[in-house]
Amino acid sequence: MLKGTKVGLRARYEDDIPVLRTELYDDVANAARAEAGPWRPITPDSKDPRLFVDGKNDGVVQFSVVELAGDTLVGTATLWGIDNHNRCAHIGLGLLPSARGKGYGTDVVAVLCHYGFVVRGLHRLQIETLSDNTAMLRSAERNGFVREGVLRSSAWVMGEFLDEVLLGLLVQDWKPDAKS
Ligand SMILES: CC(C)(COP(=O)(O)OP(=O)(O)OC[C@H]1O[C@@H](n2cnc3c(N)ncnc32)[C@H](O)[C@@H]1OP(=O)(O)O)[C@@H](O)C(=O)NCCC(=O)NCCS
C-alpha cells in the first residue's frame, strides 16, 4: 500500500465495488461533474472499467483509497493516460461524500505525485477539473500544481457548458512535503 499522512492507496478489492458504485457512480450530479462523458448507470456485476480492474491497460493504474486509521474505504484514485515516451500522466480522484472536506483529497494528490514521480519515474503530471471545483483546485495547488490554462466551455455538464482548468506539475518543481 502507498501511504500518505491520512490515507492509503491500495488495490481494488471486490468488496469495494458495490460501495463505490452506490455512493460515487450512482450519484448522477457528482458523476456528471467528475467524468468526461455522459452519466450512464452501471449494472451490478458488470465489468465496467470505472470499477472493475483487470490490469490489462498499461496506461491506467486504479487505486482504492482507505483511511489509514481504520482501513475504511473512502474513494478512488487513478493515474491515467500514462505516456512512457513523454513521461507524463493525468491524475483523477473521487471521494465518498462522507469523506470530503477532511484533507483526504490533498493527501491523495500527494500520494499520486509520489507514485507518478518516484515509483513510475514520470516528469509531468496533469489535472483537469471544472473551474468551480474549489476543493479539487486547492488539493492540486497545495501540492504545487499550477494553473496552466482555462479550457473555455469545454465540459457539457447537466444542461450547460462549463470551463475546465488545466493544472500541471513538473518533477523538478515538486516539493514532497510542502502543502502551502
Ligand atoms: C475534489 C475532492 C477530491 C477534494 O478532496 P477533499 O478531501 O474534499 O478536499 P480537502 O479536504 O483536501 O480540501 C482541499 C481544500 O479545498 C477546500 N475545500 C474542501 N471542500 C470545499 C468545498 N466544498 N468548497 C470550497 N472549498 C473546499 C479545503 O478547505 C481545502 O482548502 P485549503 O487547502 O485552503 O485548506 C473531493 O471533494 C471529491 O471527491 N469531490 C467529488 C468528486 C470530484 O470532484 N473529483 C474531482 C474531479 S476532477
Is 45 inside a domain boundary? yes
**Percent composition of the chain: helix, strand, coil (DSSP 3-state, to 5):** 25, 35, 40
Distance (angstroms) between ligand 1 centre and the Cα of 105 equals 6
Cβ < 6 A, ligand 1 pocket: 30, 33-34, 93-95, 100-106, 129, 133-136, 138-139, 142
Is 37 among the domain residues? yes
The answer, as to whether pTM is greater than 0.85, is yes
Question: What CATH number corresponds to the domain at position 97?
Answer: 3.40.630.30
Asked if residue 146 is part of any domain, the answer here is no
Residue 168 located in a structural domain: no
Task: State pLDDT tens for residues 69-105.
Answer: 999 999 999 999 999 999 999 999 999 999 999 999 9
Question: Tens of pLDDT along 104-132?
Answer: 999 999 999 999 999 999 999 999 999 99
In a domain, 174, yes or no: no
Chain centroid offset of residue 41 CA: 20
The tally of domains found in the chain comes to: 1
Cell 518516484 found at: 118
Owning domain of residue 115? 2-123
> 141 lies in a domain?
no
Neighbouring CB atoms inside 10 A of 51's CB total: 19
